[in-house]
Chain A
């Protein structure tokens, strides 16, 4: 398993470490993601955010991989990948709106090719193949990146997508976040082949297994895969080995299926603290500069929350918007019905 930073924060493989500026950027991205996750819980309990799937503890797996993309690339995130989407540039207010069940969270910004979070499992993997192939046909160097969890690798779409991407040589990077659990089912019950990166071999594409709590490592291997795809080298499967320390969603009770023993040791592998130790030890960050960063991150979140608070609620007839470019006569009649009932 590829690693650049031990859980104690000691760097190994100096030649492969990203430059100091990138390391600081990765720290900032992980802090923004964690802040979203932390505040999300509070907002949920206050009734200001709907049910959402937390990702705290998986920041290195998400931010390190997404940071390897540019705004011209495609990102297909699952519901647990808010951290990845924020890293690519999804505005915090949009992410909040999505988890508030507001249509404003479905309207992604024009300057990004990030899709709304996918609820069905692994179904977006083939979409990434198609988007990647289209970019290739158009003669760009843009790539598509898609995420799933370990449970997603049991789905047929996962296998079809990897096979299609290999057969058609699509510039695609598949991120498989092995976070140990598909709700209550541990990876060992999900499959007998628990080294998930090796599934790539079956499709003739490279498979990489990386410490998913080491952001320097996830960034490094993803950048390599993205570069390979850009240069015509085809797809890669990256398994980030991490742990879902939080429940499946804020409404889930993992004590029904998970023991203290399962959780043991994962707090010590915390990806944010790991990079923090390294940055402080290397003198790239001081306690004072970190405090300033944390304040900036918190201020940015509160401003975004205010923006999201300002999004108007949808009106009833909006249910029928955006079904087709032009509403069919059937939809037009149903709209008239909603409006009539509204005004009755």
Chain B
């Protein structure tokens, strides 16, 4: 009889199913985990990310709150202080704004202002981003606001497997984590996802495709866009290295710089507004740390300094697509 190789069970899951699986495992493993927000209970969330969890774990641990985002985050802060692990859902990232006072004034600085006497192991989940023709204010990408706020971590997965492993890390992290889920990816991708608990560490980027000519840096909903552009470039003989950051805070600058030092060219892609976006931070890091390796200036492919348009016919003008990314790749190649 030969020794069986360690077997990893997998199941085909969409991203929303993988997130539901992570939440299920977290609730089962730790009685201090509590999930709350608008419509997360009976209804299982507008995207069904919390589907079935209230039935399994009861209305004390998975509960609906009054409709008030500042109250949701503010109450979560108090729960975290008193020893629970709050996992709050904000229905859409564009609805996070009323809660930003709680985030900026308190969530990020509680450890600091109590000299670690208290810490907040809180996760705030929020669907974000465009590409699915949502109404006004449902498609915003406010991640840079959070990344700019000291004391909070920012995670944005791009695959079902990553979503599950990163969410379990986020829930088990001792500090507050914002977990943005690209609405476009919730049900559009399926893959085999490991069952049971596994973790993907925060702060480690993923090299999606390898290539020697251009580095494309992106995350969340922009990864599949970058992959399409990379495939097109590849058939034209350009080797594109696509890097999925996975987490903006902590940021894996090492993987970015190693790649840019190899390729000498960088394109940064986000669907957030242009000015002051996280793409600008990446560009600045490359300029500070690797300018002598560059054959061309860093190019940003982003949304515009206008509110995200809910106009189906022209939404794609705002949200970067593979054509725009491919154009940016050509631009840095031809510089």
Contacts and interface: CB of A to CB of B under 8 A. Distances in A.
Contact of A323 (B80, B111, B254): B111
B37 to A, nearest CB: 12
Contacts of B63: 168
A127 B150 CA distance: 20
**Secondary structure of the B contact surface, majority rule:** mixed
Given A323-B112, A325-B174, A129 B70 contact: no
A126 interface: yes
A103 B70 CA distance: 28
Contacts of A256: none
A134 B78 contact: yes
Contacts of A133: 75, 78-79
B102 A126 contact: yes
Interface in A154-183: 156-157, 160-161, 163-164, 167-168
A123 B326 CA distance: 47
Chain B interface residue bracket vs A: 35 or more
A192 interface: no
Contacts of B75: 126-127, 129-130, 133, 161, 164, 168
Contacts of A168: 63, 65, 75
Interface string A137-168: 11000001000000000001100110110011
B144 interface: no
A25 B254 CA distance: 61
Contacts of A107: 114-115, 117
Contacts of A328: 203, 249-251
A91 B117 CA distance: 16
A206 to B, nearest CB: 19
A127 B81 contact: yes
Given A157-B70, A160-B74, A163-B66, A123 B112 contact: no
Contacts of A103: 115
Chain A interface residue bracket vs B: 35 or more
Contacts of A46: none
B73 to A, nearest CB: 8
A273 interface: no
B113 A132 contact: no
Interface in B76-134: 76-84, 86, 98, 101-102, 105-106, 111-119
A284 B65 CA distance: 50
Interface stretch (A16-24, A81-89, A108-116, A230-238): A108-116
B74 A126 contact: yes
13 contacts: A106-B113, A128-B78, A130-B81, A157-B102, A161-B71, A161-B74, A164-B66, A321-B115, A324-B151, A324-B174, A328-B249, A328-B250, A329-B251
> Top 3 closest A-B pairs, CB basis?
A130-B78, A126-B74, A134-B82
